[in-house]
C-alpha cells in the first residue's frame, strides 16, 4: 500500500475517534430533546461542571475557596487529602442528579408550555449560571484529569501498520492515541447500555412513551416531572462521561464547555430526535472534518475545522431538512 493511502486511512480512523467524542456530547442533547422537546444548550457546560466537580473531589479541593477568602478572609484551599476515584465518581454522579432535580424544580416546572425558543434561552441562562458556579466552586485554572485511562500513542499499532507500506518507502506507521480508543469503547458501551435501558426497563419504556407523545403518556399515568428528573440525570451522566473523556484529552478548562458547539452540527446532521442519528452524525462530522482539514485545508489556508462541520451539515440540510434520522416534518395549517 502506498504511504498516501495509508495516510488517508490514518486520517479516517482519527476522524472516527473524534466523531465518537462528538457523538457523546450530542447524545446528551438528544436524550433531553426527545423527552421534553428542550434544546438543552447547557449540555456542554454540564460536562465541564461534572469534570470540574470530579477533579475537585479527587484532589480534595475546598469548594468556594476563593469566595470564602473574599468574604471571611479565611485561607482554606485544600482539605489535605483527596478521595479515591470511584468514590469521587459516585459523589459527582450524586451532584449531577441533585442538579437535575433542582433544574426541574426551579426552572422547568415553571416553563411548561412555553415556546421552544424561550426554553432554549432558559437553558443558555442555565449554561451561564453553571459556568459561573463551576468556576466559583473550583477555580478557573486548568486542571489535569486522571481517572486511570491509558493515553499516548499505541506502539503496537504503529509497528503493525509500518509493515503494510510498500518496501523501501519512508513510512513509520500510523499514530493512534490509546485514549481515543478507550473513549470510543466507552462511548459504544454507553450507547449499548442506554438502548438496553430504554428497551428493557420500565423506566426506559416510560421514557420512550414520553418521547412519543406527552399527553398520551400523561394519560396512562406516567409522571412527566419524574421523567424529566430522570432524563436530566441521564443527560448529567452522559455529560460526566463526556467531561471525563474530553478532560483527559485536553485538561479540564473553560474551553470544555465549547464542545457543545461541536455537537450542534452533529445534531442537525443526525436529527434532534434520534440516538443512532447522533452516533452516525458524529462519525460523519468527525471523519469529514479531519479529511477536510487534511485535504482541503492547505488549499484555503487551514484552520477550517471551526466552520467546516457547520457547512457540511448546512449543505446536507438543504437536501434533507429534518436531518439524517429525524422525524419527518409534517406541516398542517
Partner 1 sequence: MLYREAGDFKTTYREDNQTFPIKSERILFWAAMAFAFLVVPFFIDSYWEKSVLVPLLVWALVALGLNILTGYCGQVSLGTGGFMAVGAFACYKLMTAFPDLNIFFVVLLSGCVTALVGMIFGLPSLRIKGFYLAVATLAAQFFLIWVFNKFAWFYNYSASGQITAPERAVFGIAVTGPNAAPWATYLFCLTILFIFAWFARNLTRGRVGRSWMAIRDMDIAAEIIGVEPLKTKLSAFAVSSFYIGVAGALFFSVYLGAAEVTEAFGIDKSFLALFMVIIGGLGSILGSFLGAAFLVLLPVLLKNLFVGSLGWPTDVAAHIQIMLIGGLIVFFLIVEPHGLAQLWRLAKEKLRLWPFPY
Task: Give the residues lining the site for partner 1 (CB under 8 A).
Answer: 39, 66-67, 70-71, 107, 110-111, 114-118, 120-122, 124-133, 135-136, 140, 261, 264-265, 267-268, 272, 300-301, 303-304, 306-307, 310-311, 313-314, 317-318, 321-323, 329, 331, 333
Instruction: Choose among 196, 194, 183, 261: nearest CA to 20.
Output: 183
- Shortest distance, position 172 Cβ to partner 1, whole Å: 32
Handedness of CA 124, 125, 127, 131 (dihedral sign): positive
The smaller minimum CB distance to partner 1, of residues 119 and 239, is found at 119
Nearer to partner 1, 130 or 256 (CB): 130
Of residues 294 and 317, the one with the C-beta less far from partner 1? 317
Angle between helices 85-106 and 224-250 (to 10 degrees): 140
Q: Which lies closer to partner 1 via its Cβ, residue 67 or residue 76?
A: 67
> What's the CA gap between 94 and 243, in Å, rounded?
15
CB of 226 to partner 1, least distance (A): 21
Are 232 and 32 in contact by the 8 Å Cβ rule? The answer is: yes
Which of 98, 303 has the CB closer to partner 1? 303
Report the distance separating Cα 307 and Cα 314, nearest Å: 10
Question: What is the per-residue DSSP string for 270-317?
Answer: H-TT-HHHHHHHHHHHHHHHHHHHHHTHHHHTS-THHHHHHHHHHHHH
Q: 174 and 157 in contact (C-beta within 8 Å)?
A: yes
As measured in angstroms, the least distance from the Cβ of 99 to partner 1 is: 14
Is the Cβ of residue 23 or residue 161 nearer to partner 1 in the bound state? 23
Count of Cβ atoms closer than 10 Å to residue 100 Cβ: 22
Instruction: Give the Å distances, CA to CA, from 307 to 101, 176, 299, 303, 314.
Output: 35, 25, 15, 9, 10
- Nearest CB to partner 1, comparing residues 1 and 303: 303
Residue 177 or 305 with smaller CB distance to partner 1:
305
Closest separation between CB of residue 129 and partner 1, Å? 3
Beta carbon of residue 255, minimum distance to partner 1 (angstroms, whole number): 12
CB nearer partner 1, residue 170 or residue 331: 331
Q: Residue 258 and residue 264: Cα distance in Å, rounded?
A: 10
CB 320 → partner 1: shortest distance, Å?
Answer: 10
Question: Rounded to the nearest whole angstrom, what is the least distance from the CB of residue 294 to partner 1 in the complex?
Answer: 17
- Smallest gap from Cβ 119 to partner 1, in A, equals 8
Residue whose cell numbers read 475537585: 56
CA–CA gap between residue 201 and residue 216 (Å, rounded) = 19
Q: How far is the CB of 133 from partner 1 (least distance, A)?
A: 5
Instruction: Spell out the alpha helix ranges (H) of the chain.
Output: 3-36, 43-59, 65-72, 85-106, 116-138, 155-162, 178-200, 202-212, 214-219, 224-250, 259-270, 275-295, 297-300, 305-319
Amino acid at each position: 500500500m502506498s504511504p498516501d493511502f495509508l495516510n488517508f486511512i490514518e486520517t479516517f480512523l482519527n476522524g472516527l475517534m473524534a466523531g465518537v467524542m462528538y457523538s457523546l456530547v450530542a447524545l446528551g442533547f438528544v436524550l433531553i430533546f426527545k423527552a421534553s422537546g428542550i434544546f438543552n444548550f447547557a449540555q456542554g457546560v454540564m460536562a465541564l461542571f461534572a469534570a470540574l466537580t470530579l477533579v475537585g473531589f479527587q484532589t480534595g479541593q475546598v469548594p468556594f475557596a476563593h469566595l470564602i477568602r473574599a468574604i471571611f478572609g479565611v485561607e482554606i484551599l485544600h482539605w489535605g487529602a483527596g478521595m479515591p476515584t470511584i468514590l469521587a465518581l459516585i459523589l459527582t454522579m450524586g451532584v449531577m442528579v441533585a442538579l437535575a432535580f433542582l433544574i426541574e424544580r426551579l426552572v422547568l416546572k415553571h416553563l411548561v408550555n412555553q415556546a421552544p425558543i424561550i426554553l432554549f434561552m432558559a437553558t443558555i441562562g442555565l449554561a451561564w449560571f453553571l459556568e459561573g458556579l463551576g468556576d466559583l466552586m473550583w477555580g478557573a485554572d486548568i486542571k489535569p484529569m486522571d481517572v486511570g485511562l491509558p493515553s499516548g500513542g499505541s506502539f503496537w499499532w504503529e509497528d503493525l501498520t509500518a509493515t503494510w507500506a510498500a518496501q523501501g518507502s519512508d513510512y513509520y506507521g500510523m499514530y493512534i492515541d490509546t485514549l481515543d480508543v478507550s473513549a470510543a469503547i466507552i462511548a459504544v458501551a454507553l450507547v449499548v447500555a442506554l438502548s438496553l435501558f430504554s428497551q428493557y426497563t420500565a423506566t426506559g419504556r416510560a421514557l420512550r412513551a414520553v418521547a412519543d407523545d406527552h399527553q398520551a403518556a400523561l394519560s396512562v399515568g406516567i409522571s412527566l416531572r419524574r421523567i424529566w428528573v430522570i432524563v436530566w440525570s441521564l443527560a448529567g451522566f452522559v455529560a460526566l462521561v463526556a467531561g471525563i473523556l474530553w478532560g483527559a484529552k485536553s485538561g479540564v478548562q473553560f474551553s470544555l464547555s465549547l464542545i457543545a458547539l461541536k455537537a450542534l452540527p452533529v445534531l442537525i446532521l443526525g436529527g434532534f430526535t434520534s440516538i443512532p442519528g447522533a452516533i452516525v452524525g458524529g462519525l460523519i462530522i468527525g471523519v469529514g472534518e479531519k479529511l477536510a482539514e487534511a485535504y482541503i485545508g492547505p488549499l484555503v489556508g487551514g484552520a477550517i475545522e471551526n466552520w467546516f462541520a457547520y457547512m457540511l451539515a448546512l449543505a446536507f440540510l438543504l437536501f434533507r431538512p429534518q436531518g439524517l434520522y429525524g422525524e419527518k416534518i409534517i406541516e398542517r395549517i
